[in-house]
Amino acid sequence: MNAIALNAADWLSLFVHYLSLSMLCVGGAITTAPDMHRFLVQEKAWLTDPQFSASIAIAQAAPGPNVLFTALMGWNVGLNAGGLWTALLGMLLCLGGIMLPSSVVVYLTAHWSHRNRELRAVRAFKQGMAPLVVALLVATGWILATANGYAASNWPGWAVTFVTALVVWRTRLHLLWLLAAGALLGWMGWI
Amino acid sequence: MSSPSDAVDAPPMARPKSLTDLFVSFTLLALQGFGGVLAVVQRELVENKRWLTKEEFIEEWAVAQIMPGPNVINLSITLGARYFGLRGALAALAGMLTFPLLVVLALALVYAQFAANAQVAGALRGMGAVAAGLITATGLRLMPALKKNVMGMPLCIALGIASFVTIAWLKLPLAWVLAGLGGIGCVAAYRKLAP
């Protein structure tokens, strides 16, 4: 654990940061992971790099929507700041923040967007954002793979990432097999 | 704007019987989805439960994607609202999140017990490397969709590379990149989409 101190203003800024990222999640919550890394790890140092990666890895290994990785980030920030109660608070702030604004907008516009899916502005938004959605996914993979720095000794991890990307891109192998293989390789101390 | 509850344009083939049915169905969906729920959602809702036709599913998914926010969450809100209004949206959302959240927390607690263990830490590092590959591959698998993009391949590639460099290497805030490069993309696409 990596003890930190958070005051009320810090908790608020954590919540506000996730609120602001909510409306930026185009193509899934995971596309905002690089910005969470910039904020939580680099700027505020509320999470360490291993904790950040672990949050995403555990959420990926568990069933359910990917967005739950934000809950774990909040949980870990809270654990660093104190104990179980602050962990629950952090979880609530991060998961609530990332979901609240977008969910309200989606609920209110569910009917409108279904009717207007052929509208020029709606289609322009979808088409114009498409290359960014793809690039953000690849950038997220890059940031996760290089979380431990660019030292050449990290090559086994990069190789696993590279092979996984190729296998998932080209085959329909079940993702659990890959996660299990990665866990086994790590367990044996090869990564 | 009408309320989302009257968004039933065509009678669906089947529909959830009650809020409980909706909650339980989405809970079971979410608990089957390892590494993302989309594939399971499609198989269950379209092929098994027949709440949506394939065409309806593709449309709903497209809307869930262009809206901000986590896609699968958006989809459950939209579908829940379509069947039972606000209560339906909340039931679907609760189904999607409640039990998976407990599972994730349980995993995190178990992990915390063993975090000092070199082998467990190694296993998680290995899974992290795989997770990085999974996310990269999701991006790679979406690339063919850009061929049909109205902006044309050269502009798509340029915007894609610029986004990658600004986010992954320069680590600029996402809001700037989306507003700047995304703005360019939206304007370019709008101009190409002649009325």
For residues B15 and B108, membership in a common domain is answered with yes
Whether B26 contacts B92, CB under 8 Å: yes
For residues B41 and B97, membership in a common domain is answered with yes
For residues B25 and B65, membership in a common domain is answered with yes
For residues B93 and B10, membership in a common domain is answered with yes
A107/B101 touch (CB, cutoff 8 Å), yes or no:
no
Q: Which residues of A touch B142 (CB under 8 A)?
A: 133-134, 137
Residue A3: CB atoms within 10 Å = 8
Q: Please report, for chain A, the start and end positions of each structural domain, with discontinuous segments joined by +.
A: 8-128
Residue B161 falls within a domain, yes or no?
yes
- The pLDDT value recorded for residue B5 is 40
For residues B43 and B103, membership in a common domain is answered with yes
- A-interface mutation test, from B2, B105, B174, B190, most A Cβ less than 10 A away: B174
B78/A145 touch (CB, cutoff 8 Å), yes or no:
no
SS3 state of residue A82: coil
User: Looking at the complex, does the CB of residue A77 fall below 8 Å from at least one CB of chain B?
Assistant: no
Q: Which residues of B touch A136 (CB under 8 A)?
A: 139, 163, 167, 174
Which residues does chain A have with pLDDT short of 50? none
Exposure on the CB side of residue B51, measured as CA atoms within 13 A: 21
Q: Which residues pair with B34 in a beta bridge?
A: A63
Query: Could you say which of A122, A165, A184 has the minimum Cβ distance to residue B66?
Result: A122
Residue B176 falls within a domain, yes or no?
yes
**Where would I find the H helices in chain B?**
19-32, 38-41, 54-66, 71-114, 118-142, 153-164, 174-177, 183-192
- The pLDDT value recorded for residue A9 is 94
pLDDT over 60 at B2, yes or no = no
Residues A77-98 pLDDT 10s: 999 998 889 999 999 999 999 9
Residue B124 falls within a domain, yes or no?
no
- The pLDDT value recorded for residue A46 is 95
* CA neighbor of B156 nearest in space, from A26, A133, A140: A133
CA distance B13 to B7: 15
Last residue of a domain, one of B69, B97, B113: B113
* CA neighbor of B156 nearest in space, from B136, B184, B190, B116: B184
Domain extent for B194: 141-195
Q: Count the helix, strand and coil residues of chain A and give each as a percent rounded to the nearest 5.
A: 75, 0, 25
For the whole model, what pTM was predicted? Answer: 0.76
Model confidence band, residue B4 (pLDDT cutoffs 50, 70, 90) = very low
CA distance B162 to B157: 8
Q: What share of chain B in percent tops pLDDT 70?
A: 87
Region at B69 (left for phi over 0; alpha for psi -120 to 50; beta for the rest) = left
For residues B101 and B155, membership in a common domain is answered with no
Residue B94 falls within a domain, yes or no?
yes
* CA neighbor of B132 nearest in space, from B33, B38, B65, B35: B35
Residues B24-73 pLDDT 10s: 999 988 887 765 676 677 778 887 888 888 777 766 776 776 678 888 89
The secondary element (H helix, E strand) that includes residue B37 is none
What sign has the CA pseudo-torsion A170, A190, B127, A129? negative
User: Looking at the complex, does the CB of residue B164 fall below 8 Å from at least one CB of chain A?
Assistant: yes
Q: What average pLDDT score do residues B168-188 get?
A: 90
* Total domains present in chain B: 2
- Residue numbers of B between 108 and 147 with CB closer than 8 Å to A: 108, 111-112, 118-143, 145-146
CA distance A78 to A65: 22
* Distances A152 to A115, A148, A155, A158, B125 between C-alpha atoms, Å: 53, 11, 6, 10, 16
- Does B8 or B41 have the greater pLDDT score? B41
Looking at CA atoms only, how far is residue B165 from chain A in angstroms? Answer: 8
Tokens linked to A180: 């299990």
Q: Which residues of A touch B99 (CB under 8 A)?
A: 64
Looking at CA atoms only, how far is residue A8 from chain B in angstroms? Answer: 24
**Where would I find the H helices in B143-195?**
153-164, 174-177, 183-192
ipTM of the complex, rounded to two decimals: 0.76
pLDDT over 90 at B91, yes or no = yes
CA distance A91 to A145: 25
B181/A117 touch (CB, cutoff 8 Å), yes or no:
no
CA distance B49 to B37: 16
A27/B171 touch (CB, cutoff 8 Å), yes or no:
no
For residues B149 and B105, membership in a common domain is answered with no
Q: Which residues of A touch B168 (CB under 8 A)?
A: 34, 138-139, 142-143
Tokens linked to B6: 């009257």
Nearest chain B Cα to A129, which residue? Answer: B182
SS3 state of residue A173: coil
B123/A129 touch (CB, cutoff 8 Å), yes or no:
no
B68/A111 touch (CB, cutoff 8 Å), yes or no:
no
For residues B194 and B104, membership in a common domain is answered with no
Residue B99 falls within a domain, yes or no?
yes
B160/A79 touch (CB, cutoff 8 Å), yes or no:
no
The secondary element (H helix, E strand) that includes residue A116 is none
* CA neighbor of B124 nearest in space, from A183, A100, A69, A80: A183
Residue B183 falls within a domain, yes or no?
yes
Residue B130 falls within a domain, yes or no?
no
For residues B86 and B20, membership in a common domain is answered with yes
